[in-house]
Amino acid sequence: MSWSLWALVLGFCLDLILGDPHGWPHPVIAIGKLISLLERGLRRILPATAKGENLAGGILWVLVTSVSAGVPALLLWGCHLVSPWLRLAAESVMCWQILATKSLKTESMKVYSALAAGDTEGARQAVSMIVGRDTARLDEAGIARAAVETMAENTSDGVIAPMVFLALGGAPLGFFYKAVNTMDSMLGYVEPPYKNVGLVPAKMDDVMNFLPARFSALLMLAAGGLLGMRAKDGWRIFCRDRYNHASPNSAQTESVCAGLIGLRLAGDAWYHGVLHKKPYIGDAVREVAPEDIPRVCRLLYGTALLALPVCLAMGVLLRWVIQLL
């Protein structure tokens, strides 16, 4: 295997062991600061019209993705000049920082712990750290449902999709994906002031996640079957509800998760004080419960462990094809 694929394996192991230690510097924070800086600058330069803001979003997307991929590429090139082993160590750390398996579990289990202790307000605060919706109106069931939904969606966005990009193009392509995803998270809203400037970032996130989201859904379905979950219902709900979302990608894994554990997810939600009418995903076989959070954590880990060898095989195949050309 190539150095980048070995780095993916080591980075994945580091992620499972260490997660995202609080207080440690993280490249995604730097990407977020770059997005904010460029957004403010481009808003000052370009006219405050729909066309001007759309142009600002397009320029911002090109600049942020170029810097996010270019800087790690240069760093790895410099490390390789010194020693291939230094490059392997540096790229392993980068892969660790790009993947979010343990941190997603850790943050979700904070919600579970608060709910299990009867601390509804603490659970609201914990879930607000991992979801974009308003949480003040959520009751205990709504909090648990929000945590389950974000774990289901971020199994793709935070774990499987980054793993695919890392396998195909190493850490530079992985950071390219994280930049795309971070721009969508920060700017991809339909309300002002992001409606126009966030259009290009949101659409490009849809494009970049189109295949990974479906790949993640199929892996999640396989993992659920291996874990003894309701695989037939997972497939049925996936086929029926995978487009019950404004995004063409978000409901892919959510629908599988809903079917596997027998829950009805999604529905209306508040964002920035505005109620968004959204269709349901899944059937209400039973009521959502706090125990569904650790259940979906197991599904997350099972999906990630299945994804790693498949992504490595994809990476090996791609490099073999390139050598033949």
**Over the stretch 176-235, which tens digit does the pLDDT of each residue have?**
999 999 999 899 877 788 888 899 999 999 999 999 999 999 999 999 999 999 999 999
Average pLDDT, the chain: 92
Q: What pLDDT sits at residue 81?
A: 96
In a domain, 118, yes or no: yes
pTM for this entry? 0.93
Mean pLDDT, range 232-242, rounded to an integer: 95
Domain membership of residue 228 (yes or no) is no
User: How many distinct structural domains can be found in the chain?
Assistant: 1
Long-range CB contact pairs, 192-199, < 8 A, 24+: 196/50, 196/53, 196/54, 196/57, 197/39, 197/42, 197/43, 197/53, 197/54, 197/56, 197/57, 197/60, 198/57, 199/54, 199/57
Q: Is 215 a member of any domain?
A: no
Give the integer Cα–Cα distance in Å for 66 and 73. Answer: 10
Residue 276 has pLDDT above 90, yes or no: no
**CA neighbor of 142 nearest in space, from 29, 284, 290:** 290
In a domain, 279, yes or no: no
Say if 89 falls within a structural domain.
yes
**Domain carrying residue 140:** 3-208+290-324
pLDDT at 208: 96
Query: Per the domain annotation, does 163 fall within a domain?
Result: yes
Instruction: Give 131's pLDDT tier (boundaries 50, 70, 90).
Output: confident
From the list 138, 136, 105, 113, the residue with the least C-alpha distance to 290 is 113
* pLDDT-based confidence at residue 62 (cuts at 50, 70, 90): very high
pLDDT of 23 higher than 80: no
User: Is 242 among the domain residues?
Assistant: no
- What value does the mean pLDDT take over residues 54-63? 95
More confident residue, 97 or 273: 97
Residue 14, both tokens: 């580091």
pLDDT of residue 284: 85
Which two structure tokens, joined as six digits, stand for 41? Answer: 């600058």
- Evaluate whether residue 283 is within a structural domain: no
**Percentage of residues in the chain having pLDDT higher than 70:** 97
| Arithmetic mean of pLDDT, 116-127 | 90
